[in-house]
Amino acid sequence: MPARFSIFSLVKVLFRPKAAFETLAAQEPPATRVFFGFALWIGLLPPLFAYIGTMNFGWRLGVEPVFLPQRTVFAISAAYFVALLLGFLSSAVIARWMAVTYDASQSLGRCFALMAVVGAPLAIGSVIHLYPHAFINLLVLVPTLIWSMYLLYRGLPVVLHTGPNRGMLMASALIAYLLVAAVSLLGVTVALWGSGLGPLIGN
């Protein structure tokens, strides 16, 4: 990763992750620079792709596409963006909090950088939202999720300066936190939708 952690780092993250981790391990990237120069922009990609795809093709959950009003699609995309940013920020903060237990670096900038690198494949894979078919999206996003998990296990010990065994345990704890957060978010979404706060669907 260059000294200025920016969107141009994405190529190195995707194609040379080991080199990216080693470079990060030798640096102390400022958290604000990582967030505003990289994480914020890759976090914008999934909701942007989802907005464009939904407006043009509608979501295909079955045979017929499901179309929503433009204002509803925009609101859902904005909520998607906020959820991604909150997930990124909370994951980085949780990683820093866990670092004490696992004898890892407590640098918030490094935690931000690690989470940004780990989330990059999912952000790029979200290009499939341009054709929002539920099954096809699942086929693409599941492998990118596996790649992101691999990057977390591989990169955490290097970037946060901890041993391989402790790094594996810390990465597993982070994944457990993310799974709980995702299920909780899904539950809240279903509850709100069931209470009548969700969008009205029309064909």
Domain ranges of the chain: 21-197
- CA nearest to 112, candidates 102, 103, 120: 120
Confidence band (pLDDT; 50, 70, 90) for 7?
low
Q: What is the pLDDT of residues 94-125, one digit of tens each?
A: 999 999 999 998 889 899 989 988 998 889 89
Q: What global pTM score does this model have? A: 0.84
| Residues in CB range of 123: below 8 A, 6 or more apart | 42, 43, 45, 46
Q: What is the pLDDT of residues 73-94, one digit of tens each?
A: 898 889 889 989 999 999 999 9
